[in-house]
Amino acid sequence: MQAQKLFPGVYRLSFGEPETFTPETFRSVAPSAALKNCEELPCPFAQDAIAFRASARGCVAELPLDSFEQLYGFGLQLKSFAQMGKKKALRVNADPVADTGDSHAPVPFYVSTSGYGVLAESARQVSFYCGANEKLGAGGRTVTVEIPAARGISLVLFAGKDPLDVVRRYNLFSGGGAMPPAWGLGVWYRCYGQSAQADAEGFAREFRAHRLPVTVLGLEPGWHTRAYSCSYIWNEKNFPDHETFLARMKELGYQINLWEHIFVHPEAEIYDALKPYAGEYEVFQRGLIPDVSLPEARDIFADHHYERFVSQGISGFKLDECDGSDYTGGWSYPDCARFPSGLDGEQMHALIGLLYQNTVRQAFAPAGKRTWGLVRASGALASPSPFTLYSDLYDHRDFIRGLANMGFSGLLWTPEVRSAASAEDLVRRIQTVIFSPVAMVNAWPFPNPPWHQVDEALNHQGIRMEGSEALEARCRRWFELRMELLPYLYTAFRRYRDEGIPPVRALLLDDPADEDCWTVENAVLVGDALYFAPLVAGERERAFYLPRGTWVNFFDDSQFLEGGREYRFAYDLDAFPLYVKAGTLLPLAKAEQSVAEHPLFTLCPRSFGAKPGETLSYVLYEDDGASEGQTGGEVTLTRQADGTYALSRTGETGHQMYRLAEEKAD
Amino acid sequence: MQAQKLFPGVYRLSFGEPETFTPETFRSVAPSAALKNCEELPCPFAQDAIAFRASARGCVAELPLDSFEQLYGFGLQLKSFAQMGKKKALRVNADPVADTGDSHAPVPFYVSTSGYGVLAESARQVSFYCGANEKLGAGGRTVTVEIPAARGISLVLFAGKDPLDVVRRYNLFSGGGAMPPAWGLGVWYRCYGQSAQADAEGFAREFRAHRLPVTVLGLEPGWHTRAYSCSYIWNEKNFPDHETFLARMKELGYQINLWEHIFVHPEAEIYDALKPYAGEYEVFQRGLIPDVSLPEARDIFADHHYERFVSQGISGFKLDECDGSDYTGGWSYPDCARFPSGLDGEQMHALIGLLYQNTVRQAFAPAGKRTWGLVRASGALASPSPFTLYSDLYDHRDFIRGLANMGFSGLLWTPEVRSAASAEDLVRRIQTVIFSPVAMVNAWPFPNPPWHQVDEALNHQGIRMEGSEALEARCRRWFELRMELLPYLYTAFRRYRDEGIPPVRALLLDDPADEDCWTVENAVLVGDALYFAPLVAGERERAFYLPRGTWVNFFDDSQFLEGGREYRFAYDLDAFPLYVKAGTLLPLAKAEQSVAEHPLFTLCPRSFGAKPGETLSYVLYEDDGASEGQTGGEVTLTRQADGTYALSRTGETGHQMYRLAEEKAD
């Protein structure tokens, strides 16, 4: 077979009959134009190096492996990082209990340290045997890819100068990275699930009074109380006047995010209209499953959500339950379920996460606004989608591993803070989440903020824990750090959008030649210049591998470390390894109480490791912070030789997102 | 479609192209002749009541459900009992971590309280959705059966007067139940895995000296020490003279069982001969996978085992590792692996457990002897196979649930005692295991018997725990009870062989009209007359549901209970609910130190609930206790009106397995 060139360094190799329904079939964003400007590279596999065959079970491809390479990816794998030697059976699953390949966001894509990537174009439960077995007598290992039920296999092969270049091309092929509205990068707080509008307003006012810089409030409108399927109708008892409530929240500087799922209760206004476009089974007590692979179903759902919610000022949604789980009794629809589009349940499970995201994103199109939301399932080609994954699992180390893994497969992940075994646990988890795409406290189980009381039962009784004020101060400090990082993060996302570079990623992507980085799953790079290694509760010290180069301690910029080796230091609760690349001008902002829809950040830059008299600069991205489809412009922040800062625009961007704080020198 | 009648009350319904390889393809035992004598019953499903369809994924059958029925079976499910409302995806797996259907012995067979059973004739990973989902708008539930990769479905439908009648027909269709050699029902002790022959002899002599009635010793011959694949060559360092050793063990009244698995090391004598009949992959460091679906491979393996082991007096084997696990890294061969027979890896995983059992059983044929062994994987149609399942899982409640579940699908199960968190845990587990098909202490990790010391580290240091002598006495007591029950158990197995009635089974099988029995998963019936409800460590009392009828406490035959209700009593460590059906003459035997190859049991009968002057009798089964293919005969034990006992043979059985202890009256 001859590989077909799609874009520079991107090839398709097909065998047998192509599958009818793949993630590509339903892509809502075209490959990024930037892909055409990538360097030309040959196909990473020689002709006929990949063996194909069909069997009763489906189709198999065998891809040769070098004696020395490591593999990453397969979507949001929470249980493992380096995948060589493992079997990964990719199945959409909310509750992976072991390192099987189950994930709520599996992606049949992997990237090798040898500088290539492979995407199996399928919405089926693809299995990858990553050099796990030797052939009898023959020696030599392969990645064996099996696609069930398929009569053919189509692989997209990505070449690259290095793994990051491969990941970039995968993300650009997917349509580029998602660009958040600026407010989406603020701090999120999901209110107690039973909150009535007065309760929610209570949280909103408390956060302002206590100078806790929360920007997004998450709510449950109570539309799942009659049955667990959704009516998408505000519960009148809890929200007797949601319009006034929303207006007040806006005044206080909050964006509102609403919980929902896709299984439609008969009371929903859209139920009858969706019925011709529904799957054959019900889920969650009479919930209809809209076949959102059909434009008709997407339009009904999106139009309704625009009219009822987006046009009312709702900024986003939390899309729950769209994964399914075989470990908690097999709720959700069977894999053999039939849908009007011709999709079966297996394919729908793989696709519905992203299709649902696309449907909800479509609801924001008439408003011309970006959204930033949460979702519990995703899949291949998801990088342009403005939704961040969360999980009902909760192991902190697994959650940190998620940060290291998300960047390999075009996914965004929040290690949300949902509960805490102790004050220490709460703080350590908040320190982690502020370096993720959504800095979220999901206090759904707690009638009072968790920094009042981490014990759920006592929290329900309104009993404050000892030291709760100091704890709140600690939480405030990390929320403020998040707010300070916003210009930096916003600019990192711009690189995700335009260049496909993940804003949070594993160390090896930036230095694949350093094999010591290959297995580091408990530290990440955030943007261009930040290295972050979180601690978990119970740790008084930690070892961390620092990549090569010179690094400056964020908390003490007189402390320099040479990377390329492991360090081990003790940390109190107010510290953790956070390092800045030496020679970085970090465009920190003044921490405001919330992020405005069209923000104007006050920059308080800090330079790390600047030599006396050295000029440093940082190019920030600027647009109006909220509108869809903007290209924006660049603003150069400079630390001048005399230690003063300056801001300059290359041409007119049409916006003003940044200003300098009162002139100050280092 | 018209169901085809196979036997009275047994029908086959086929749709589409039949699968080439099913458990039936490889059955080694024909359906029992007794099946022909079963009552004629109509097909349990009306014509066209079952809907079939084919899809790209495979084939689907939808079987209607009554509004009120409960389902059981699907093989050795350790995580659940009553299966209505659940998805069971049947996959061979050593380490099921949740209630998914994964099992090391999945069987695509279920039985309904409505008095029918369904076997999906497939070696694929069949999924059963047991009324888990409602159809949109339609209401009504089905069992939806999906067979991947199949182009047709063949169902065997079993009618029955009640669920036990269904299970009987399933077992008789499988070829009848397995009949152990009498010694197989004695107490087993698997020695420390590193034991040299002197160590093993040490155990053997200690047990006799301490009057611990152990009959079978399990050993690891050390043929997996160079690589984890097996050479089937005694390790010369540990066993410099295994022939002398075996002779000494025989003198001491022990049977020897050897550990092995099926993945053949290149040093094995049979490696080259098996190579043309091997799967394409290696397992466990160069281990060849014999395709034991081929008679050639079975003959090579069986002939070798006869010559090297059976003819040397080895009585059986422990067949390890024949399952595979996706929860511990996916060791074993891929599901897409190819075998010379044409089987693929998925099918081989489903079949190899029973094929391996059949191969090893074949090694005993030239000796004309029964074997009784252990195995870690099994499947459909397994009831005639003389192997009992064990598991590397270890939750005591799960293990008890295994006893309740084994009888639904023609399987035997031992809740082996492998380690214990405390003396209490050890005793409670021993109390459980003596009511199972193999009363096994698997002290593989312990250089000294666990009743010396349950803590593994201290056991290795030879440090005895406090009260170890009292603990040993407790263990002895329960081992002796097992020995006393042997005539009763042997006779129960005869009913398994000839009538298909499981020797250990869930309560509901004997009284399906009592709905309170439907969910009892923590108590079982053993044989015709014994009710057993174990306690687990930490329990000082337990509630137990006693089936309808009058029951007599085994430990205090003056205490009668009326069943049909739940009781809750306190228990010290020497007691648990063990009840005998009122009016039973229990043929207990004197507890000897071991079970001879051709045993002569000394009966010490006890009658439970006999009215004064009442005559009771019990019909025992008798043969030579060890030879294959015997039909044996019956011996009637009678408690005469004067309270004395008598033994009478109906015709000449040609054997003498029982004698009465010195005449004694009640």
| Cβ-Cβ contacts under 8 Å, A279 against chain B | 136
Cα R_g (chain A), whole angstroms: 24
- Sheet bearing A127-130, strands edge to edge: A51-55, A58-64, A142-148, A127-130, A87-89
The confidence score (pLDDT) of residue B650 equals 75
- A549-564 residues labelled b (16+ CB within 10 A) or e (exposed): bebbbbeebeeebebe
The confidence score (pLDDT) of residue B662 equals 78
Residue A133, pLDDT above cutoff 90: no
Interface test with B, best of A17, A62, A84, A87 (most B CBs within 10 A): A87
pLDDT average, residue stretch B482-489: 98
Pick left, alpha or beta for residue A406 (phi over 0 → left; psi -120 to 50 → alpha; otherwise beta): alpha
Residue A487, pLDDT above cutoff 50: yes
Q: Which CATH number fits domain A4-174: 2.60.40.1760, 3.30.750.24, 3.40.50.10740, 3.40.50.9100?
A: 2.60.40.1760
Residues 6+ apart with CB under 8 A from A615: A638, A639, A640, A641
Residue A138, pLDDT above cutoff 80: no
pLDDT grade for B328, boundaries at 50, 70 and 90: confident
How close B134 gets to chain A, by Cα (Å)?
6
| Chain segment B22-75, per-residue pLDDT in tens | 999 999 999 999 999 999 999 999 989 999 999 999 999 999 998 799 999 999
Report the percent of chain A where pLDDT is more than 70: 99
Residue A225, pLDDT above cutoff 90: no
pLDDT grade for A198, boundaries at 50, 70 and 90: very high
pLDDT average, residue stretch B463-477: 98
| Chain segment B157-202, per-residue pLDDT in tens | 999 999 999 999 999 999 999 999 999 999 999 999 999 999 999 9
pLDDT grade for A154, boundaries at 50, 70 and 90: very high
**B146 to A336: CB separation less than 8 angstroms, yes or no:** yes
Kindly state the tokens that stand for B176: 């009848």
Q: Nearest by CB to A133, which of B136, B282, B346?
A: B282
| Cβ-Cβ contacts under 8 Å, A100 against chain B | 326-327, 330
Q: Nearest by CB to B336, which of A86, A146, A326?
A: A146
pLDDT grade for A226, boundaries at 50, 70 and 90: confident
Helix axes A486-499, A163-174, angle to 10 degrees: 80
pLDDT grade for B664, boundaries at 50, 70 and 90: low
Closest chain A residue to B289, measured at CA: A136
Q: Which residues are B585's β-sheet partners? A: B607
Q: Nearest by CB to B326, which of A89, A327, A330?
A: A89
CATH architecture of B187-477: Alpha-Beta Barrel (3.20)
**Equal fold, A4-174 vs A182-389+432-491:** no
| Chain segment A302-341, per-residue pLDDT in tens | 999 999 999 999 999 999 999 988 887 778 999 999 999 9
pLDDT average, residue stretch A402-414: 98
| Chain segment B552-565, per-residue pLDDT in tens | 999 999 999 999 99
pLDDT grade for B663, boundaries at 50, 70 and 90: low
Q: How far is CA B658 from the centre of its chain?
A: 26
How close B159 gets to chain A, by Cα (Å)?
28
| Chain segment B131-157, per-residue pLDDT in tens | 988 899 876 789 999 999 999 999 999
Residue B325, pLDDT above cutoff 90: no
Strands (E), B527-608: 530-532, 541-546, 550-553, 556-562, 565-570, 578-581, 584-586, 601-603, 606-608
CATH architecture of A182-389+432-491: Alpha-Beta Barrel (3.20)
**A100 to B327: CB separation less than 8 angstroms, yes or no:** yes
pLDDT grade for A665, boundaries at 50, 70 and 90: very low
Q: Establish how many alpha carbons lie within 13 A of residue B468's alpha carbon, considering only the half-sphere containing its beta carbon.
A: 16
CA–CA distance, B188 with A614 (Å, rounded to integer): 80
* More confident: A290 or A649: A290
Q: Nearest by CB to A278, which of B134, B136, B144?
A: B136
| Cβ-Cβ contacts under 8 Å, B337 against chain A | 133
CA–CA distance, B317 with A505 (Å, rounded to integer): 51
| Cβ-Cβ contacts under 8 Å, A337 against chain B | 133
Residue A664, pLDDT above cutoff 60: no
pLDDT average, residue stretch A240-244: 96
pLDDT average, residue stretch A152-156: 97
**A334 to B279: CB separation less than 8 angstroms, yes or no:** no
Closest chain A residue to B332, measured at CA: A133
pLDDT grade for A666, boundaries at 50, 70 and 90: very low
Strands (E), A25-84: 51-55, 58-64, 71-75
How close B122 gets to chain A, by Cα (Å)?
13
pLDDT average, residue stretch A111-137: 95
**CA end-to-end span of chain B:** 61
| Cβ-Cβ contacts under 8 Å, B90 against chain A | none
Q: Nearest by CB to A133, which of B134, B146, B333?
A: B333
Q: What is the mean pLDDT of chain B?
A: 96
The confidence score (pLDDT) of residue B653 equals 74
pLDDT average, residue stretch B332-354: 97
Interface test with A, best of B87, B88, B291 (most A CBs within 10 A): B87
| Cβ-Cβ contacts under 8 Å, A344 against chain B | 55-57
| Chain segment B496-519, per-residue pLDDT in tens | 999 999 999 999 999 999 999 999
Contact B107, B410 (CB under 8 A): yes
- A379-388 residues labelled b (16+ CB within 10 A) or e (exposed): bbbbbbbbbb
Of B291, B284, B201, nearest to B240 by C-alpha is B201
Closest chain B residue to A135, measured at CA: B281
The confidence score (pLDDT) of residue A249 equals 98
CA–CA distance, A169 with B183 (Å, rounded to integer): 68
Of A505, A483, A486, A487, nearest to A496 by C-alpha is A505
**B129 to A330: CB separation less than 8 angstroms, yes or no:** yes
Domains of chain B by residue range = 4-174, 187-477
| Cβ-Cβ contacts under 8 Å, A338 against chain B | 55
pLDDT average, residue stretch A587-593: 98
Q: How far is CA B639 from the centre of its chain?
A: 32
| Chain segment A538-572, per-residue pLDDT in tens | 999 999 999 999 999 999 999 999 999 999 999 99
- Tabulate helix, strand, coil % of chain B (nearest 5): 25, 30, 50
Q: Give the SS3 label for residue A73.
A: strand
The count of CB pairs under 8 A between chains A and B is 142
pLDDT average, residue stretch A56-83: 96
